[in-house]
Structure 1
Amino acid sequence: MATPVVTKMAWKLQEIVAHASNVSSLVLGKGSGRLLATGGDDCRVNLWSINKPNCIMSLTGHTSPVESVRLNAPEELIVAGSQSGSIRVWDLEAAKILRTLVGHKANICSLDFHPYGEFVASGSQDTNIKLWDIRRKGCVFRYRGHSQAVRCLRFSPDGKWLASAADDHTVKLWDLTAGKMMSEFPGHTGPVSVVEFHPNEYLLASGSSDRTIRFWDLEKFQVVSCIEGEPGPVRSILFNPDGCCLYSGCQDSLRVYGWEPERCFDVVPVSWGKVADLAVCNNQLIGVAFAQSNVSSYVVDLTRVTRTGTVAQDPVQDSRPLAHQPPPPTAPLRRIYERPSTTCSKPQRVKQNSESERRSPSSEDDRDERESRAEIQNAEDYNEIFQPKNSISRTPPRRSEPFPAPPEDDMAIAKEAAKPSPAMDTQFPVPNLEAPPWPQPVTSTPAPKAEPAIIPATRNEPIGLKASDFLPAVKIPQQTELVDEDAMSQIRKGHDTMCVVLTSRHKNLDTVRAVWTTGDIKTSVDSAVAINDLSVVVDLLNIVNQKASLWKLDLCTTVLPQIEKLLQSKYESYVQTGCTSLKLILQRFLPLITDILAAPPSVGVDISREERLHKCRLCYKQLKGISGLVKSKAGLSGRHGSAFRELHLLMASLD
């Protein structure tokens, strides 16, 4: 008898270059598990089909980096929130902007579509939660209660509740009908990054940077159980569609949990690093992660994963998918959601002359919508996915077949067939550069003959302001010379986006310069920090760093928290500026700070000395917080490694 081929339990599916600059957010469509949306620092939202190399659609209109994206359940609408606080909704089937929603005063950190109504919820760094009616562009209600940034929002399956997770270590449950908070779930000791409702029962799960997952009973409003000992901060969790278990995307592994009692059913090694989102389709779990401008996708074969209290069947002995095997004899312990029998239709555009909303055609929102575009990049994939085959439903082939796994015992063939994933071939042309090939699973599709240009993953510019991003790719030496008109049209690609970014930055710098002319350096730095744009802070610090005499002790108290952000930045120029500023502070003020803190207390009242002592204590506390970061980066190689090692030596006296 022939030995059956044993395939992998988990494997890397694909790696693509998703944006011209760094990826800042991404989400999988939960209905199909095959549609991926990415938001980038280039202010775009790009749509992809998992395991296909080319961008399907690119959505423009935002003028600042896209911080959060979300697809609705039918995957017909997408909403994206930006760093400036604006929200845009696109109709994917019609390939056009649907709504622009403005009202938040800071970054949009979280979004979710109502499961049955034409509403969107948004959570922001301004601590507010807003419920929007996307039919009329209006904010229906504002929920206030969190004291820090709202990191995750989820509607309950019946559409009656909204759960929110925030950096203030709390989870809150809001009643949409009453417009008020129903319950608050304390218990986490760190920022809460994700919440998920059980698909059937009155149960809520929350994950936090304190490395725990907590389960909450939504009838008794109390904790059911707590999973402790996660290998790192919890960033992504997902209930199995039938509710039998919870998946947690951990650092380089997938963990499968039960909650009554709390237990771990299985641990699957997956080399995805920090996975950002999960989805389930065809008994496969899809996980996606991003680093700089690259997005990677991974697959876990759930037919080989233990998802209940019993051991999973060996696929060699029992080839039936788990969905077709007898379910475990368990009954729901809690109440079941009551879902409406009908769903609401997709929102339509409101006419300009309607009684409910009279707006001037020249209003700012309408101008934003005219400037927002949905550019179809790949017509074949777009028609396959978004154009309905009949008036009743869409049945695209992308939902039918699972992803094939490469054989575990045939790695030589897998390596031979591995080819680089093509980048977007029309949207972001750059000169052809050498790049390592991305590994691909073994498939029957023949390998491409030529390798397309790859956008470099390492970037220093925050918004892709590199000239080569807007120049045509040099494909072959024998390329025919372009006529002037064609050359100019290619050079102008991305010009509008670049102008918008530079205009916004220039406006912010003008605000800071107006304060600078008064001669008050401290107030100038305060105004730059208040703008909440690190690029402006970097520009100002580059000026202050050139003249050490401008530095004062009270300036250090404002700049040190910003330096901590710069040292953790993904941009090389930001890290370099942060190192330079920190070195100046250590050389100029650290001896003074340590001497004042070590001095004996004075006799009598000396207000100026007390103020100076308070500033020194604050600076010392901030420097202690930064010292751990500097120590962790001192082992890096290259120029930044030597800079961090020098800073580590200068900070030795803090210990």
Structure 2
Amino acid sequence: PPGGHKTAWKLQEIVAHASNVSSLVLGKGSGRLLATGGDDCRVNLWSINKPNCIMSLTGHTSPVESVRLNTPEELIVAGSQSGSIRVWDLEAAKILRTLVGHKANICSLDFHPYGEFVASGSQDTNIKLWDIRRKGCVFRYRGHSQAVRCLRFSPDGKWLASAADDHTVKLWDLTAGKMMSEFPGHTGPVNVVEFHPNEYLLASGSSDRTIRFWDLEKFQVVSCIEGEPGPVRSILFNPDGCCLYSGCQDSLRVYGWEPERCFDVVLVNWGKVADLAICNNQLIGVAFAQSNVSSYVVDLTRVTRTGTVTQDPVQDSRLLTQQPPLPTAPLRRIYERPSTTCSKPQRVKQNSESERRSPSSEDDRDERESRAEIQNAEDYNEIFQPKNSISRTPPRRSEPFPAPPEDDVATAKEAAKPSPAMDTQFPVPNLEVPPWSQVVTSTPAPKAEPAIIPATRNEPIGLKASDFLPAVKIPQQTELVDEDAMSQIRKGHDTMCVVLTSRHKNLDTVRAVWTTGDIKTSVDSAVAINDLSVVVDLLNIVNQKASLWKLDLCTTVLPQIEKLLQSKYESYVQTGCTSLKLILQRFLPLITDILAAPPSVGVDISREERLHKCRLCYKQLKSISGLVRSKSGLSGRHGSAFRELHLLMASLD
């Protein structure tokens, strides 16, 4: 390369443990902090490009198989072969928690982005969600049939993605405590999953040598990159989400997914790279062999990251014709992010004593025997104890890592495969409020709250949806005293009970009519009660049996559908869309045919009646079509539902 500039180089090699290294991870916040776990049962902490260990964490009694740093890089969690998990507070240099409950090797860990939770995946096929403050296991997610290799929380903190040796990727809803979707398709163990930083998109890498991209609204595959040189172990999205990096054997590959293409290949002799991070427009890769750990740098300013470079116009135009033109390409939904960027490490510390649940003596012994030994005070103070402790950042603002002067094989660079210029900036859509953050008024959305799950210490720990959402600072909010808080809760509780009791009574009334077998009358009775929640409950049943629908049912239901489509509750809108789609598919052709038929000669009462119903339905549908048109511009799942309805209603005009 001109002027001796390098694209990739080896930074350093250290002896990280007295015996073999069993796991290692980079801090994603700074890209400069490295944690290693060893067969010597220790967790060691390093600053990239500095030769000395900063801290050594002891206490595990079997090899450390998995480690993870939280984003602010002030907590670290490590899981061992025996199934025990320990959390250390790096700033206080002490053990914070010991979490016991898995029966086998811990293969994967992740910190929740806002709440004080850790997720762990094990060889025992279970995934557990732990409350760090209370030492309790809050949920156990069962569903995988083999070891869980990788766990990631979504950027908005509402979901957990898991990848396992059973060839599947699963997506879990944290507040509901259940699986939302399973992504089959890989033909080998799935080693790694990563969420796109902004869009509803998930990437998974497998030993089958493919990377798959999944759409998290439609829950289907977007594209698949095949022919990786070996098992896929480490992938990382660029911070702005423009591309995905894959750390292959001896190379870094840069991919796009719509359509799938390779932007660049950079040769780096890092062997099997175990983790990637980005810092100062440089990509850091780390690899281990026996007791040694090596770090490598790739200068991203010299890497092609978007599809602007083209080499074969013929193939380009062919690829472009396969793709829909850009303006109509659907926008993928974007995560709702916290309005405040306050991380809450302090809460962990304040509550760690006051909220401790009389731990067993075994735990106390565990925590007494666990140490955080500072090995290098100078580095430790620089990183974890800065003078201005309000804005603690690991050595983040420091200069990029300099390239070595002498020439190196690692600079070789293959030409990228030709790729069309398909990249666009995604505008942030105006998102609907998630149903769990809505205020309950007189008609609550039918959303089940998660049950209270007993923890391993038989202490009930209830989860609120707000536990999984970022803390929002509300101005001028005075602290509530306990009595006030209780009376507020009681007031809300009483209202809720009244609402549910009346809803139950209303549903009983409808059910009594339903048992006579007259569906039209039961729908009429539900409408007469004038409680939308009852209509929703009934429609959810009727929607499942299309054969029950008759034309006179439509005349009763259509005005209700119009109300549902304007509801602030997501589930009401969904039910309304489903019913409307059913009516359009079954009855719109019939209605237009009857209205277009020539008038009959003589008196035909039943025909006259039918014609009257059709006119009524037609009028109601015309009224709804304006509403559907106005909502078809929405982004996300509802937008696509309204766009489909808009197409179905085209024949009304």
Q: Into which bin does the TM-score normalised by the smaller protein fall?
A: 0.5 to 0.7
Query: Do the aligned partners of 1:60 and 1:374 also contact (CA within 8 Å) in 2?
Result: yes
Q: TM (normalized to structure 2)?
A: 0.58
Post-superposition shift, 1:406? 1.9
Query: Do the aligned partners of 2:555 and 2:616 also contact (CA within 8 Å) in 1?
Result: yes
Report the CA distance shift for 1:285/1:197 in structure 2 as closer, same or farther (over 3 A): same
2:431 to 428, 433, 437: 433
Q: Deviations over 1:207-262 (max 9, x none)?
A: 00000000000010000000000000000000000000000000100000000000
Post-superposition shift, 1:311? 3.0
Question: Which moves more between the two structures, 205-214 or 351-360?
Answer: 351-360
Paired with 1:250 and 1:532, the residues of 2 have a C-alpha distance of 62
Query: Do the aligned partners of 1:21 and 1:464 also contact (CA within 8 Å) in 2?
Result: no
Report the CA distance shift for 1:271/1:367 in structure 2 as closer, same or farther (over 3 A): same
SS in 2 for 1:353: helix
Post-superposition shift, 1:9? 0.7
Paired with 2:609 and 2:22, the residues of 1 have a C-alpha distance of 41
Q: Which runs of 5+ in 1 are unaligned?
A: 1-7
Report the CA distance shift for 1:265/1:9 in structure 2 as closer, same or farther (over 3 A): same
Report the CA distance shift for 1:227/1:19 in structure 2 as closer, same or farther (over 3 A): same
Post-superposition shift, 1:559? 68
Paired with 2:494 and 2:372, the residues of 1 have a C-alpha distance of 15
SS in 1 for 2:592: helix
Question: Which moves more between the two structures, 325-334 or 355-364?
Answer: 325-334
2:631 to 630, 633, 636: 633
Q: Deviations over 1:54-85 (max 9, x none)?
A: 00000001000000000000000000000000
Query: Do the aligned partners of 1:20 and 1:464 also contact (CA within 8 Å) in 2?
Result: no
Report the CA distance shift for 1:609/1:437 in structure 2 as closer, same or farther (over 3 A): closer
Report the CA distance shift for 1:233/1:636 in structure 2 as closer, same or farther (over 3 A): farther
Paired with 1:518 and 1:45, the residues of 2 have a C-alpha distance of 69
Alignment RMSD (CA, Å):
24.4
Question: Which moves more between the two structures, 553-562 or 33-42?
Answer: 553-562
SS in 2 for 1:303: helix
Query: Do the aligned partners of 1:294 and 1:457 also contact (CA within 8 Å) in 2?
Result: no
Paired with 2:448 and 2:172, the residues of 1 have a C-alpha distance of 54
Report the CA distance shift for 1:423/1:607 in structure 2 as closer, same or farther (over 3 A): same
Post-superposition shift, 1:340? 1.8
Report the CA distance shift for 1:531/1:148 in structure 2 as closer, same or farther (over 3 A): farther
Query: Do the aligned partners of 2:333 and 2:429 also contact (CA within 8 Å) in 1?
Result: no
Question: Which moves more between the two structures, 495-504 or 457-466?
Answer: 495-504
Query: Do the aligned partners of 2:594 and 2:611 also contact (CA within 8 Å) in 1?
Result: yes
SS in 2 for 1:320: helix
Post-superposition shift, 1:471? 51
Paired with 1:433 and 1:89, the residues of 2 have a C-alpha distance of 36
Paired with 1:203 and 1:444, the residues of 2 have a C-alpha distance of 36
Post-superposition shift, 1:407? 3.2
SS in 1 for 2:625: helix
Q: Deviations over 1:573-599 (max 9, x none)?
A: 999999999999999999999999999
SS in 2 for 1:640: helix
Post-superposition shift, 1:94? 0.6
Report the CA distance shift for 1:546/1:436 in structure 2 as closer, same or farther (over 3 A): closer
Query: Do the aligned partners of 2:109 and 2:121 also contact (CA within 8 Å) in 1?
Result: yes
Larger Cα-atom Rg: 2
Query: Do the aligned partners of 2:256 and 2:306 also contact (CA within 8 Å) in 1?
Result: yes
Post-superposition shift, 1:190? 0.4
Query: Do the aligned partners of 2:12 and 2:296 also contact (CA within 8 Å) in 1?
Result: yes
Q: Deviations over 1:261-280 (max 9, x none)?
A: 00000000000000000001
The structure that is helix-richer by fraction is 2
Post-superposition shift, 1:310? 1.3
Question: Which moves more between the two structures, 308-317 or 115-124?
Answer: 308-317
SS in 1 for 2:541: helix
Report the CA distance shift for 1:475/1:397 in structure 2 as closer, same or farther (over 3 A): closer
Report the CA distance shift for 1:152/1:13 in structure 2 as closer, same or farther (over 3 A): same
Paired with 1:388 and 1:321, the residues of 2 have a C-alpha distance of 52
Q: Deviations over 1:574-628 (max 9, x none)?
A: 9999999999999999999999999999999999999999999999999999999
Report the CA distance shift for 1:67/1:573 in structure 2 as closer, same or farther (over 3 A): farther
Query: Do the aligned partners of 2:43 and 2:58 also contact (CA within 8 Å) in 1?
Result: yes
Q: Deviations over 1:341-394 (max 9, x none)?
A: 235654568899999866557611111111100000000000011113324302
Paired with 2:626 and 2:451, the residues of 1 have a C-alpha distance of 40
Report the CA distance shift for 1:25/1:506 in structure 2 as closer, same or farther (over 3 A): farther
How many residues are paired up?
648
Q: Which runs of 5+ in 2 are unaligned?
A: 1-5
Paired with 2:58 and 2:512, the residues of 1 have a C-alpha distance of 32
SS in 1 for 2:246: strand
SS in 2 for 1:404: coil
Report the CA distance shift for 1:65/1:306 in structure 2 as closer, same or farther (over 3 A): same
1:495 to 493, 505, 508: 493
Report the CA distance shift for 1:242/1:505 in structure 2 as closer, same or farther (over 3 A): same
The percent identity for this pair of structures is 97
